[in-house]
Structure 1
Amino acid sequence: MTKYFSPISSIWRNSKRVIGMLQKSDPRTLRALSAVRVLSSTLPYLNGFILGMMTQSVVESVKLGSLTSQFWWAMFLIVATPVVIRIVDIFNDYLDGKYWIEMDNYMQLMYFKKRSALDIAAIKKPEIQNKARKAQESINKTRQYADRIFYSIGSLAGLTTAFAIFSTQNWWIFPVVVLATIPSLIVETKYGRKIWDIWGANTETRRKYNYFIDRLNDPENLSENKLLGTVNYFLKAIRETIGQFTLDQIRTDRNAVPARIFSAILSHGTTAGMIVIFAIRAARGQITVGELTFFYVTLQTLRKSISEIFSLTARQLQDNLYISDLFALLDQEPILIKPINPVTIAKNTTPDITLSKISFAYPSAPDKFVLQNISLAIPAGSRVALIGHNGAGKSTLLSMIFRFYDPDNGEVRIGEHDLRELDLENWYSHLGYIPQKYQFFQLRTADVIALGDTSTQPDERRIKQAAMKAGADTFINSWNKKYDQILGEWFEGGINISQGQMQKLALARIFYRNPRIWILDEPTSSIDAKSEIEVFEELNALPKDRTVIFISHRFSTVRNADQIVVLDKGKIKEQGTHRELVKKGGLYATLFKQQAKAYK
């Protein structure tokens, strides 16, 4: 029994959650739409009664040789009913359109809010990425799922009306019609589950498919692939991945055709048989022609209502699996444990940062430690440079400070507190970060800079000061629209800018933010030498209570750091000032000499 009731109970649970979301988005429109759907589903039975009344009044008028009062009432109702039905449909269309616009917005925001709330450790896990992909694909399904709830409510109201009609006489009709449509429910449920299994099993493949599409969809990616001659490679990859998750679905749909034909014949054949029975009774004078017409329309409407309910239920059973995917993401807990009583750092405070015996391996490769026994003290107000070969662990070390992950061993202390005790949102408000792959915001230039601090309204004076410190003011003022210039080509009037200009705007965002702790990953990699010197002069001119941590492969930018940390294979190889490390003659000195030689 569990096999059969478990899906129904799951639909019930998910339907309650969906209705809860509907109520939150717009409760008044929800109530109005529900009432209109109920009214819309009962009107066809009223229409059948009026048709029967009209038919009988015509027969009576023929017998009497004159038009009876019943005939004129029937004519009035025949004219008025379609108008009423049309008015109800207009209201239904209006409320439906209004509600689903708001519902779509609500669902999209809810999805992105939840996804944004997850920690980086969770977001980067492949299984959670698959879960997020399923959830995003389920958003449209959720609208359809909710819409069918409305239709089901309306159809149930129609069934109640039909049951009341047949309960006084011919009570057996109702259960016979229900039984005749059950095979359709079984068929749709069975094959719906198979379709979901196909899509569920191919989530990873569909992620690859979307990745391949992006190689040819994004203008920058497409430009590079044209030059590399890899367009045909990705076209082939797209074609192959499409085939992997569509062929099984086509095969399943083909196998379902005979069963669907059988269930349709059974349902329509049963209804036709009962209509024949009523026609025979009318021919024998046991019921009137008007009653025959009424029963004919009512039977057709009843069969349609039951078929709709079973069809809706079958589709709900199919989409319920997708809705469960959405709720699986909404119920996903962060991997990192949040403190019960989080500690906050005072706004104008720059705390010390201390890493003590940190070891860490990414969850995807738990046996490969990227950081090994790292101990590092970063006093407030110091300038610390992290250098080393690619893959040495520099960016991972920053991830520990951000608490994107928790270390497997050791601890990160911020001031007097373990980082795990801190309120992360408060901690992040003290940080200013430029990643190696920074974002290119295709917005108004002033807004791009002001994104550095969204806690207040954009300040034009601060925006211009930040641009000047980052060396971006020169090229901004050369544009006709200056700070009102739209960047990129997504929007009308936008312009493309160079990588160096993008990086200067990224730096301007951080100057605008004016954080207590600056964390910069290759902050001048795309900037010319003169601009680089000017940027670091601005960084050196920061107040003495500001901490600066930066990663760079250019020794010209690291030599003035208070502390240079050389990482190699996840370990601190050397540590000291530029003078100390050159004198030591170790890895730093070797790398410095190699780079200096290249400039001779």
Structure 2
Amino acid sequence: MPAEPLDPVALRVAARSQRKSMGRLTRLVRASMSLVWQAGPRSFVALASLQVVSAIALALQVLAVQWVLSAVLADDLRADFSSVLAPVTLLAVLSATGAVAGALQSQLQRLLGEMVARTMWTRVLRVATGVDLRHFESPEFYDHLNRVQTNAVARPYQVTQGVLSMAGAGAAGVGLSIALASVSPLLLVLVLVGGVPLLLTSRRESRLEFAFSVGQTPVLRERAYLAMIQTGREEAQEVRAFGLGSWLGERFDALYDRYLGDLRRHAVRRTLLSLVGQLGSAVVLGGTLLFLVWLVARGTIDVAGAGAAIIAIRMLASQVQSVFRGVQLIFESGLFLDDLDAFLAMGAPALEGTSGPQAPSGFDTIRVDDVRFRYPGAEVEALRGIDLEVHAGEIVALVGENGSGKTTLAKLLAGLYRPDGGRIEWDGTDTTTFAPASLRERVSVTFQDFVRYAFSATENITVGRAGAESSPDEVRAAARAAGAEQLLDDLPQGFATRLSRLFTGGTDLSGGQWQRVALARSFFRDAPLVILDEPTAALDPRAEHELFATLRDVLDGRTALFISHRFSTVRGADRIFVLEGGRVVEQGTHAELMSARGLYADLYRLQADTDVAGGPAQA
């Protein structure tokens, strides 16, 4: 069974246990730099080079300022004004160099940030589409996914920004330190000490930010859901029909007010911490400047040296703060990166799913032996000892009341879930021994709540075998088998028409027309086992009759298992399995089950009576 995502309490405990060790700092830096290098090596090299250029230009500006001051204060300035031209020109060139390098850095950072984001999105989406389906039954998984989407995706680049900031500040700091130490080594020590208060408060700020993000994830998810309901096309008609606009808006506002209140309190706490660190740093800086004034008063430093020292102190203090801010950013992002690593680790089983023996291209018998299954968090098993056999070429029906386990059993047969107990065998081989991906390739599933892709009609059909080469004739054959060929030909651009009004030039289909497209998708997959969950729920009686009248010809020897609440559609099945409470309680042909006068017969007569009294009954 897949590991459950960490809950918020566990995440906060893990965050508090993290220590700012040099080993952890090294690991975070190495991992993030590797990722950024993979995303855009040329941009990374260019950005790092600009950092070095900016650092050198900044350090040289201190020397240029001292040169300018010395020239200005020289006794012969009036006699020889040209002596100041060289240092002033150098200072201007250095300032311009720093400004240009800064502008280029800004654009490169934007580009590299998008490259990293793309790399991370690719990894996250690969996990989201590959993890075990059980994860999607867990609210904790959705919280984890939301945190990764809103926070962790951008964090690797933020770590790299912190590293580059530290590197640039460090390079500039070396030159500034040399210049300042030449004036007074004690001044250098005092400036470096000024960064200690920031270091002491940064760890607490990092933990506060991560705890806030974890705590707010459910609120942000629900807020996004409420926004989706109010803006979604599918929901728009019911929102208006029931007059839900004001009610949903009030719920949305209440959630936003709650979030803003929490954000204000969080911002105040972070601001107070930052204020403590900045005030401590400012006190040390003030003491440093007073010490410099004392040196000037004693005549230890001349005016030009003092001017250069003041600039060096201010610049170096800024660089020291940049270093510590970079450290804070790295450790703060590190908490989110650990969360991201835990999410990406869920994808490991999905990658393993491509290894192992391949499922056979066909079968003679599928046997379900004492299969049990429970959904995450459920108290009752959805399947409680299912036993049945399906033979190649058969058309088999699953019937039963809502909650009896029909769809769950279909998902297990399709390889979307693994049983908690018992076995599903293909010709005596346990299907869990097959590579999961290969097993799913041998099954074609059309669910009742199939997806209506905002793609072209052709693409809506070919997603049944996505990535495989296909010809227009194959697509048409699948559409024809589902009774959808003519309706798709009649669209404005035929099979090339986009089936959604969300995009320009698109159109939409009725529920019954969409169901035909979904069936065409399933037939196009051309798998030995076809599973159809309520395949005619949206079809009119004539279309339903036509579909089942030709189903054997369409299947062409393939095995079909279909779920239906319409008993008129299951009469022609080779065998019917009746489920109740997660168990198979009856099986046989329609005639055999009617003769047995059991649950099937009761349900059949009940529906027949309803049909006569009030038209077709649908569950």
Q: Which range is displaced more, 248-257 or 484-493?
A: 248-257
Q: What residue number does 1:294 align with?
A: 308
- Using a 3 Å threshold, how does the CA distance of structure 1 residues 398 and 300 change in structure 2: closer, same or farther? same
Once the 2 structures are TM-superposed, how far is the Cα of residue 305 of structure 1 from its aligned partner? 0.9
Q: What residue number does 2:322 align with?
A: 308
- In 2, Cα distance between the equivalents of 1:246 and 1:141? 23
Q: Which range is displaced more, 376-385 or 213-222?
A: 213-222
Which runs of structure 2 are paired with 1:527-538 in the superposition (5 Å)?
527-538=539-550
Q: Is the 8 A contact 1:387 1:566 kept in 2?
A: yes
Is 1:72 the counterpart of 2:85? The answer is yes
SS of alignment partner, residue 353 of structure 1: strand
SS of alignment partner, residue 464 of structure 2: coil
Q: Is the 8 A contact 1:61 1:67 kept in 2?
A: no
Aligned match for 1:200, one of 214, 226, 236: 214
Q: What residue number does 2:580 align with?
A: 568
Q: Is the 8 A contact 1:339 1:421 kept in 2?
A: no
Aligned match for 2:449, one of 434, 437, 448: 437
Which amino acid in 2 is paired with 1:517?
Answer: L
- In 2, Cα distance between the equivalents of 1:353 and 1:568? 21
- In 1, Cα distance between the equivalents of 2:454 and 2:351? 35
Once the 2 structures are TM-superposed, how far is the Cα of residue 153 of structure 1 from its aligned partner? 1.8
Which amino acid in 2 is paired with 1:237?
Answer: R
Is 1:92 the counterpart of 2:102? The answer is no
Q: What residue number does 1:352 align with?
A: 365
- Using a 3 Å threshold, how does the CA distance of structure 1 residues 25 and 518 change in structure 2: closer, same or farther? same
Q: What residue number does 1:417 align with?
A: 429
Aligned match for 1:26, one of 40, 61, 66: 40
Once the 2 structures are TM-superposed, how far is the Cα of residue 104 of structure 1 from its aligned partner? 1.6
Render the CA deviation track for 1:294-323: whole Å, top value 9, x for unaligned.
212211111111112222322333332222
- In 2, Cα distance between the equivalents of 1:259 and 1:343? 57
Is 1:120 the counterpart of 2:119? The answer is no
Q: Which range is displaced more, 105-114 or 205-214?
A: 205-214
Is 1:227 the counterpart of 2:264? The answer is no
- Using a 3 Å threshold, how does the CA distance of structure 1 residues 38 and 194 change in structure 2: closer, same or farther? same
Q: Is the 8 A contact 1:447 1:458 kept in 2?
A: no
SS of alignment partner, residue 567 of structure 1: strand
Q: Is the 8 A contact 1:394 1:567 kept in 2?
A: yes
Render the CA deviation track for 1:475-497: whole Å, top value 9, x for unaligned.
22222211121121221111222
Which amino acid in 1 is paired with 2:266?
Answer: T
Which amino acid in 1 is paired with 2:394?
Answer: S
Aligned match for 1:323, one of 337, 343, 352: 337
- Using a 3 Å threshold, how does the CA distance of structure 1 residues 557 and 163 change in structure 2: closer, same or farther? same
| Unaligned segments of structure 1, at least 5 residues | none
Q: What residue number does 2:282 align with?
A: 268
Q: What residue number does 2:607 align with?
A: 595
- In 1, Cα distance between the equivalents of 2:211 and 2:17? 16
Q: Which range is displaced more, 441-450 or 271-280?
A: 271-280
Which amino acid in 2 is paired with 1:136?
Answer: Q
Is 1:482 the counterpart of 2:494? The answer is yes
Q: Which range is displaced more, 234-243 or 439-448?
A: 234-243
- In 2, Cα distance between the equivalents of 1:580 and 1:179? 90
Number of paired residues? 596
Is 1:389 the counterpart of 2:372? The answer is no
- In 1, Cα distance between the equivalents of 2:18 and 2:431? 49
- Using a 3 Å threshold, how does the CA distance of structure 1 residues 415 and 43 change in structure 2: closer, same or farther? farther
**TM-score, normalization: structure 1?**
0.92
Render the CA deviation track for 1:145-173: whole Å, top value 9, x for unaligned.
33222212211222222233334452222
Q: Is the 8 A contact 2:404 2:579 kept in 1?
A: yes
Aligned match for 1:539, one of 538, 551, 560: 551
Q: What residue number does 1:35 align with?
A: 49
- Using a 3 Å threshold, how does the CA distance of structure 1 residues 480 and 200 change in structure 2: closer, same or farther? closer
Which amino acid in 2 is paired with 1:252?
Answer: H
Q: Is the 8 A contact 2:354 2:438 kept in 1?
A: no
Which runs of structure 2 are paired with 1:153-192 in the superposition (5 Å)?
153-192=167-206
Please report the RMSD computed on the Cα atoms of aligned residues, expressed in angstroms.
2.6
Once the 2 structures are TM-superposed, how far is the Cα of residue 203 of structure 1 from its aligned partner? 2.9
Q: Is the 8 A contact 1:148 1:312 kept in 2?
A: yes
Q: What residue number does 2:616 align with?
A: none
Once the 2 structures are TM-superposed, how far is the Cα of residue 351 of structure 1 from its aligned partner? 4.8
Q: Is the 8 A contact 2:193 2:284 kept in 1?
A: no
Once the 2 structures are TM-superposed, how far is the Cα of residue 4 of structure 1 from its aligned partner? 8.2
Q: What residue number does 1:361 align with?
A: 374
Once the 2 structures are TM-superposed, how far is the Cα of residue 403 of structure 1 from its aligned partner? 3.3
Aligned match for 1:515, one of 505, 511, 527: 527
Is 1:149 the counterpart of 2:186? The answer is no
Q: Is the 8 A contact 1:38 1:155 kept in 2?
A: no
Q: What residue number does 1:585 align with?
A: 597
- Using a 3 Å threshold, how does the CA distance of structure 1 residues 521 and 543 change in structure 2: closer, same or farther? closer
Aligned match for 1:492, one of 493, 496, 504: 504
Render the CA deviation track for 1:118-156: whole Å, top value 9, x for unaligned.
111234333333222221122133433332222122112
- Using a 3 Å threshold, how does the CA distance of structure 1 residues 346 and 183 change in structure 2: closer, same or farther? same
- In 2, Cα distance between the equivalents of 1:461 and 1:204? 48
Is 1:103 the counterpart of 2:116? The answer is yes
- In 1, Cα distance between the equivalents of 2:90 and 2:351? 67
Q: Is the 8 A contact 1:485 1:494 kept in 2?
A: yes
Aligned match for 1:58, one of 72, 86, 96: 72
Q: Which range is displaced more, 293-302 or 79-88?
A: 79-88
Once the 2 structures are TM-superposed, how far is the Cα of residue 560 of structure 1 from its aligned partner? 0.9
Is 1:446 the counterpart of 2:439? The answer is no
SS of alignment partner, residue 497 of structure 1: coil
- Using a 3 Å threshold, how does the CA distance of structure 1 residues 580 and 544 change in structure 2: closer, same or farther? farther
Once the 2 structures are TM-superposed, how far is the Cα of residue 6 of structure 1 from its aligned partner? 4.4
- In 2, Cα distance between the equivalents of 1:35 and 1:27? 12
Once the 2 structures are TM-superposed, how far is the Cα of residue 9 of structure 1 from its aligned partner? 4.3
- In 2, Cα distance between the equivalents of 1:28 and 1:417? 51
- Using a 3 Å threshold, how does the CA distance of structure 1 residues 598 and 63 change in structure 2: closer, same or farther? closer
SS of alignment partner, residue 579 of structure 2: strand
Which amino acid in 2 is paired with 1:34?
Answer: A
SS of alignment partner, residue 388 of structure 2: strand
SS of alignment partner, residue 541 of structure 1: helix
Which amino acid in 2 is paired with 1:99?
Answer: L
**TM-score, normalization: structure 2?**
0.89
- Using a 3 Å threshold, how does the CA distance of structure 1 residues 206 and 339 change in structure 2: closer, same or farther? closer
Once the 2 structures are TM-superposed, how far is the Cα of residue 507 of structure 1 from its aligned partner? 1.0
Once the 2 structures are TM-superposed, how far is the Cα of residue 522 of structure 1 from its aligned partner? 0.5
Aligned match for 1:553, one of 550, 556, 565: 565
Render the CA deviation track for 1:430-461: whole Å, top value 9, x for unaligned.
11111111001111222221212223234211
Q: Is the 8 A contact 1:61 1:68 kept in 2?
A: no
Q: Is the 8 A contact 1:339 1:420 kept in 2?
A: no
Q: Is the 8 A contact 2:36 2:157 kept in 1?
A: no
Q: Which range is displaced more, 84-93 or 317-326?
A: 84-93
- Using a 3 Å threshold, how does the CA distance of structure 1 residues 514 and 335 change in structure 2: closer, same or farther? closer
SS of alignment partner, residue 251 of structure 1: helix
Which amino acid in 2 is paired with 1:290?
Answer: A
SS of alignment partner, residue 451 of structure 1: helix
Q: Is the 8 A contact 2:416 2:440 kept in 1?
A: no
Is 1:504 the counterpart of 2:522? The answer is no
Q: Which range is displaced more, 427-436 or 35-44?
A: 35-44
SS of alignment partner, residue 369 of structure 1: coil
Aligned match for 1:464, one of 467, 476, 490: 476
